[in-house]
Structure 1
Amino acid sequence: MSPFKFELLHTSTKSRARVGRIHTPHGIIDTPSFVAVGTNGTLKALDNEMVSSIGLQLMFCNTYHLLLQPGPEVIEKGGGIHRFINRNMPIITDSGGFQVFSLAYGSVADELKSKGTKKQGGSVVKINDDGVLFRSYRDGRSILLTPETSVKAQKAIGADIIIPFDELPPYHIKPEELARSLDRTHAWEKRSLDAHLEDPRGQAMYGVIHGGVDDALREKSCHFLRELPFDGFAIGGSMGKTKGQMVTMLSSLLPKLPEKAPNHLLGIADLESLKSCIPLGIDTFDSSYPTKAARHGTLLTREGGMKITRGKHSGEFEPIEKGCPCYTCKNYTRAYIHHLFKAKELTSMTLASIHNLHFMVELMQEYRQLIIDNKV
């Protein structure tokens, strides 16, 4: 029997927002939940003991980067990702598909500006129905990433939740090309699932729903993946050019997903999107935004983002936010953190990241209570 299980505890009477629990071999994830991104097996500027003490229940690691350094075989020899990075709570890994997109087209922001033109001289050598051939940015060696090799790597890494190999087409793509990409992704996901089921290892696999902002293709993807024995579903691909476009797409898609399976929104967890998407019924959200903002001196507060490097904070001998119980706010003042950023001390990034991550964990706890109270 699989150790993975989703419990739906309450659905709001005011919206489709819901509270649940995802059971994994390394603990429970209370939903809705924020998932921080630890690309290389760590959240930048934080060690995993600190991350666990903050209460982050699910952490996202990137298969593509771990494949290149230190390599899945090293992680497996080290006892799997949990033992290797010293984390006893749940971990999710992606397939490497997003990195294929960014290697070919640049970041999402760059792609939206470039109208879908491929980068010149990029690391991707070839994309076909078999998989993707690319050059390592570390040592230049050629690597073939396929559904089977992606799953093999994720098996060796040993995350609790894994993602099938998929293609992330750009926002600017012709409709016929988007349809072809969807068919390829479905074939890759089926191959990934087959490889996973040959050696489950107690891991769960989420199917990834694609189709861009085309409702018909999203529905087609949802119908195709629902017929396969995935443990949950992730929503990937282009979310549109604006948040409004994303919300419109998700509003149409979410009612088509199985109610008794968890769902995850890939790469989106800014505060505005959480406010819009939690009422739609999203269970988990991942994003590097809170920790990236922290490293650039933006601290999250109830009143909005605080740019701690501004001169007005140099004489404020109070915590980042009054009443915040995080380690940073309990021990340090705005004036000191301002000084650390101005002095370019690395500790500034650590203290800021602790606060922002704690802010996100507490925010999601509050959302869960609001849903239970039928206020969201």
Structure 2
Amino acid sequence: MSFTFEVQATCSYTNARAGVFHTPHGVVETPRFMPVGTLANVKTVTPAQLQDTGAQMVLSNTYHLHLQPGEDIVQMAGGLHKFMGWSGPMLTDSGGFQVFSLSEINQINDDGVTFRSPRDGSLIHLTPEKSIAIQNTLGADVIMAFDECAPPGVGRDTVEKAMERTYEWLKRCVAAHSRKADQALFGIVQGGEFLDLRAEAARQLVDLNLPGYAIGGVSVGEAPEVIDQVVQHTAPLLPQNKLRYLMGVGSYREMARAIAAGVDVFDCVIPTRLARHGSALVGGERWNLKNAKFREDFRPLDETCSCYVCQNFSRAYISHLLRSQELLAYTLLSIHNITELVRFTQRIRQSILAGTFTTEFAEWIAPVTG
């Protein structure tokens, strides 16, 4: 089964494009926001509810699934899609982000990364080969190369070393990948805030002619204007005929600006994380439904939204659920928030097809300032 990306329309004044990414489990119409289901579950939402949000592709995480339940159990269940009951396209991160986020419990060298398990204290040695073997066993449509994400604020030498190690690990991932027919291996462009390093990393990855490419190492603590500068510089360096994926970004302006630079898909935990804190995404704003003003507000969350939540429940009801600590509140807010971000990217897609992107979304694609 081949993985292809088809560009359907482009924008005359930006690098934005609308396209279709073909996978063994269906298509992804781009630009598109992708919800995160770290442990083969988008928190508080069933697969049927997730499908109703308009989501087409879901992410899970190699490191966490390796710890629990283990890739062998997922394989025994028939693979990741059957295990979690999601029939659409899926992507697994490589565990590379945990090299950054769990830096206090790991040690890095050229061979790989050794973690101390947060579950039982045992040592876990994750190498490029091991990451790919786990992902081959899990069976997602798209798998990510094992990479090193340098933390923000470190010196150029440290960032360059991480970039070089990421490239060496990528070549080992390519050699270890055994399911090329039904799994697409994506490389990840690193290089921190140094634009020349980003350009060099992009050149190295493009030379390997991979099925798709990701921009990593952003949204890990940098200022928004730094993220924007990196994305605007890097995205156009990646092939026109391959899917471009910006990792870990899910705010309105960052997505709109990245789409204008030529990015196709995004992932972020924002919609479900905000839901667990009682917040809704409405019209580009974040609303805290615990606020007193919502107690007697019987309007839908968003009167323009067609999601299940906005068609059936009021702000007052969700506020009541939150105040009562009822679990349904988190499900309803998650459904709406995911729908909102998917709908935002769907609207952008339609505007690109219609040739109205730069006018319709002028507010959102204005440059990011500090």
User: 1:368 aligned to 346, 349, 352, which one?
Assistant: 349
Instruction: Name the structure 2 match of 1:297.
Output: 278
Cα distance in 1, alignment partners of residues 169 and 234 from structure 2: 21
1:6-60 CA deviation, whole Å, 9 max, x = no partner? 1011111121110000000111000000011111111111111211222210111
**1:233 has 2:236 as partner:** no
Instruction: Name the structure 2 match of 1:316.
Output: 297
1:308-353 CA deviation, whole Å, 9 max, x = no partner? 1111111111211113211111111111110000011111000111
Cα distance in 1, alignment partners of residues 287 and 162 from structure 2: 41
Instruction: Name the structure 2 match of 1:10.
Output: 9
Q: Partner letter of residue 217 of structure 1?
A: L
Aligned residue pairs: how many? Answer: 356
| TM norm structure 1 | 0.92
User: 1:221 aligned to 192, 201, 224, which one?
Assistant: 201
- For structure 1, the residue ranges without an aligned partner over 5 or more in a row are 105-121
Which one is further off, 50-59 or 141-150? 50-59
Q: Partner letter of residue 193 of structure 2?
A: V
CA contact 2:250–2:341 (8 Å) conserved in 1? no
| TM norm structure 2 | 0.93
Instruction: Name the structure 1 match of 2:87.
Output: 88
Q: Partner letter of residue 190 of structure 2?
A: H
- The residue correspondences of 1:1-376 to structure 2 (distance < 5 A) are 2-104=1-103, 122-124=104-106, 126-196=107-177, 198-238=178-218, 241-302=222-283, 304-376=285-357
Q: Partner of 1:259: helix, strand, or coil?
A: coil
Give 1:365 shift: 1.3
Q: Partner of 1:225: helix, strand, or coil?
A: helix
CA contact 2:252–2:284 (8 Å) conserved in 1? no
1:92-131 CA deviation, whole Å, 9 max, x = no partner? 0011010111111xxxxxxxxxxxxxxxxx321x311100
Which one is further off, 4-13 or 247-256? 247-256
Change over 3 Å in CA distance of 1:309–1:54 after alignment to 2 = same
Cα distance in 1, alignment partners of residues 43 and 22 from structure 2: 27
1:188-247 CA deviation, whole Å, 9 max, x = no partner? 011001111x43241001110011111111111011111113101000124572111122
Q: Partner letter of residue 153 of structure 1?
A: I
Cα distance in 2, alignment partners of residues 102 and 362 from structure 1: 29
Which one is further off, 262-271 or 244-253? 244-253
Cα distance in 2, alignment partners of residues 267 and 248 from structure 1: 16
Q: Partner letter of residue 292 of structure 2?
A: G
Give 1:265 shift: 0.3
Cα distance in 2, alignment partners of residues 139 and 80 from structure 1: 26
- For structure 2, the residue ranges without an aligned partner over 5 or more in a row are 358-370
Cα distance in 1, alignment partners of residues 223 and 137 from structure 2: 37
Instruction: Name the structure 2 match of 1:113.
Output: none
Cα distance in 2, alignment partners of residues 320 and 34 from structure 1: 20
Cα distance in 2, alignment partners of residues 342 and 203 from structure 1: 45
CA contact 2:215–2:245 (8 Å) conserved in 1? yes
Cα distance in 2, alignment partners of residues 303 and 233 from structure 1: 28
Q: Partner letter of residue 105 of structure 2?
A: S
Cα distance in 1, alignment partners of residues 155 and 315 from structure 2: 50
Q: Partner of 1:315: helix, strand, or coil?
A: coil
Cα distance in 1, alignment partners of residues 43 and 307 from structure 2: 18
CA contact 1:14–1:374 (8 Å) conserved in 2? no
Cα distance in 2, alignment partners of residues 251 and 53 from structure 1: 32
Cα distance in 2, alignment partners of residues 99 and 5 from structure 1: 29
Cα distance in 1, alignment partners of residues 305 and 159 from structure 2: 46
CA contact 1:189–1:207 (8 Å) conserved in 2? yes
CA contact 1:34–1:269 (8 Å) conserved in 2? yes
Give 1:290 shift: 1.4
Q: Partner letter of residue 188 of structure 1?
A: W
Q: Partner letter of residue 20 of structure 1?
A: G
Cα distance in 2, alignment partners of residues 323 and 55 from structure 1: 16
CA contact 2:295–2:319 (8 Å) conserved in 1? yes
Give 1:303 shift: 5.8
Q: Partner of 1:299: helix, strand, or coil?
A: strand
Give 1:250 shift: 1.8
Change over 3 Å in CA distance of 1:49–1:175 after alignment to 2 = same
Which one is further off, 172-181 or 128-137? 172-181
